[in-house]
Amino acid sequence: MGSLPLKNAASCKTYLHSLSQGEAAVLRAEALARTMLGCQPTDQAYHDWVADSVLDVRMQLEQCLLSPSASRSDVAQSRGHEGKVPLALESVLMSVLHAPVMQSLVTLHAQADATIHKQAKTHCYAGSKTLDSSLARLSGAEELLIGMDLSHASAALQRIDTECSCPLEMICAIAEADRRLADSAGRLRQSSDSEQAVSADDLLSTTIAAVIVAKPERLVSCLEYLKLFHSTGDWSGKTGFQVATLEAAAAYIEQLNRAFSTFSASGPAPRHSQEFMQALLEEDEPLTFANSSYALRMQAQHTSSPIQVPGPHKDKSASDLRYGHGMSLKQLIGEELMQRAASLQRTASLQRAASLHRTASGKLRAHTELTGAD
């Protein structure tokens, strides 16, 4: 059982049941998670408290399952499960909390969710499942990717919005969308005899297009949910890159709404992606594209000193899990992660903004030289 992949909450529960003391740990996790639902105000402080509590309970149960006894077989078992037990416990806890917490986040982020849904409906023709020329211009995709199949990736993105019941299921759906886009773009590049491999720019532009085709209703809320509650994620590696790309796509579509509003007030809407890029570059805040695969790899390889996790806590009971108690375990290890992520985001944003500016300027110069325009 330990060799089977964890893909959803059900497989996580089955996996934990296969471990010594695993069934008791599942019952304990579900009971404590239900206790957290006793108070559900719709504010960020409550979400932070739930995230702290989930992390605290998960680490406590993790220690119970992985702490070796005197038996040598138990020692070997704990070593073989160190990478899966945390993820499985997180998934079981969040499967109980998922629906009410998501509903609370949706209330908080209703405006941003509605903006993305509205923009997607505006720019996607009914039934469209491929990257047409109009969508390619809007998303910044290269011409050779026109005709690319977006149906599988957009379907995976729709599952994030409608079918998932824990962070693991969302991450698996995002990974599938990313893989589908990379495969489709790779086939088109190969068929066109392009020597260039699929790049981070390809993935970002086609992710933007896939989001528009998917027309999600709660994308911003889902991303906030992941950042709050997926504490076991590989945030400095593959998972971080995939989520950052999707978040960048969401930010771009939100910014399209502002760009359209700006142009609508002063004249006709822009027809080409370069005009959008220029409008976004001229905003007060830098672009929020965090899509530099090189920067993310460097971040993973050159992480500074390891994050220090506090020692064992006493067993948590229902009376300990009351909203307002100052459990700050997540804050203790989260501050450094947030600083690293913010630094990476700023660096990647500036790199992306500079790249877009160079691309737009180069195309404008080429057009001027060919047409002889002033």
Q: Which domains does the chain have, with CATH numbers?
A: 9-302+311-371 (1.20.1050.80)
pLDDT at 238: 82
Instruction: Give the dihedral of Cα atoms 132, 134, 137, 143; nearest 10 deg.
Output: 30
Q: How far apart are CA 290 and CA 352, in angstroms?
A: 8
- The total number of residues shown for the chain amounts to 374
Q: How far apart are CA 223 and CA 116, in angstroms?
A: 13
Whose CA is closest to 331, among 67, 56, 4? 56
Residues with pLDDT less than 50, the chain: 1-2, 70-72, 75-76, 263-313, 325-343, 346-347, 349-350, 353-354, 356-358, 360-361, 363-364, 367-368, 371, 373-374
Instruction: Give the dihedral of Cα atoms 129, 132, 135, 140; nearest 10 deg.
Output: 120
Contact 96, 33 (CB under 8 A): yes
C-beta contacts of 352-361 below 8 A and 24+ residues apart: 352/287, 352/289, 352/291, 352/292, 353/281, 353/286, 353/287, 353/289, 355/201, 356/140, 356/277, 356/281, 356/287, 357/277, 357/281, 359/274, 359/277, 360/274, 360/277, 360/278
Both tokens of residue 323?
């909203």
Please provide residue 315's backbone torsions phi and psi, each rounded to the nearest 5 degrees.
Answer: -55, 135
pLDDT at 234: 80
Q: Which residues contact 39 (CB under 8 A, 6 or more apart)?
A: 46, 322, 323
User: Between the CA of residue 222 and those of 99, 145, 169, 230, 241, what are the distances in Å?
Assistant: 11, 28, 11, 11, 16
Q: Which amino acid is at 137?
A: R
Contact 287, 281 (CB under 8 A): yes
Residue 105 burial by CB count (10 A; 0-12/13-18/19+): exposed, middle or buried? buried
pLDDT at 73: 52
pLDDT at 140: 85
Residue 126 burial by CB count (10 A; 0-12/13-18/19+): exposed, middle or buried? exposed
Q: Is 310 helix (H, G, I), strand (E, B) or coil?
A: coil
pLDDT at 182: 92
The DSSP element (H or E) to which 227 belongs, if any, is: helix 219-229
What pTM value is reported for the model?
0.72
pLDDT at 372: 52
Q: Which residues contact 313 (CB under 8 A, 6 or more apart)?
A: 56, 59, 60, 329
Q: Which residues contact 223 (CB under 8 A, 6 or more apart)?
A: 243, 246, 247, 250
